[in-house]
Amino acid sequence: MPTIITSALVAGFFALSGTNAVSAPEAPEINELPTYTVAMTSYNAVPAQTDSDPWTTASGLRSNPEIIVARSQDLADELPFGTVIAVTRAAEDTHNCGFSKVEDRIGYRVVGDAMNARMRNKIDLLLDHNDTLTVGGVARNPSRVLGYCDQVNVQVIGFMDLKEVPTTQTELITMVEQSRIASAR
């Protein structure tokens, strides 16, 4: 009996070998995550710059200056809460924009807050209100040093559930490097 099955398989192989070759399946399309060009400012978690509860963001997350970024409401579809971003700027600093001076405090960010409705095409970094940076011999808050920057590139790195947002920049970097964030919503 095994000889009959083997013969049938061999005959089937030769019969099919004359047919058109089956093409390999196409590689799945890789979804490139978008990059947006926006303006950028920063804020501190204090009542004068937020609302009456500066320690809670619009998404319900704790205000964490290592992790949180706010986005203007017109970017809600492009940058929903839980979006992980990288922020870069190719342009030189200006008297209004001190990006390079605070760049080491930016890292990856998670969209977890929303800006006032009047703001458009803009992100707002949450920075530590107790931090200082010496510029020109004067100690200043990094938010003041950053100022207003245009031509800022926001690259979407991925997405995470708000319950999974880490508390430190080190944890967030590890999550990104280990591909522990979703690449699609």
Sign of CA dihedral 165, 170, 171, 177: positive
Range 170-180 burial, b when 16+ CB lie within 10 A, else e: eebeebbeeee
Q: Which secondary-structure segment (H or E) carries 43?
A: strand 35-43
Q: What's the confidence (pLDDT) of residue 53? A: 76
pLDDT greater than 60 at residue 74: yes
Q: Is 22 helix (H, G, I), strand (E, B) or coil?
A: coil
Q: What's the confidence (pLDDT) of residue 26? A: 53
Nearest CA to 124 out of 36, 44, 66, 59 is that of 44
Mean of pLDDT over the chain:
85
Range with lowest mean pLDDT among 69-78, 90-99, 176-185:
176-185
| β partners of residue 36 | 154
Q: What's the confidence (pLDDT) of residue 51? A: 66
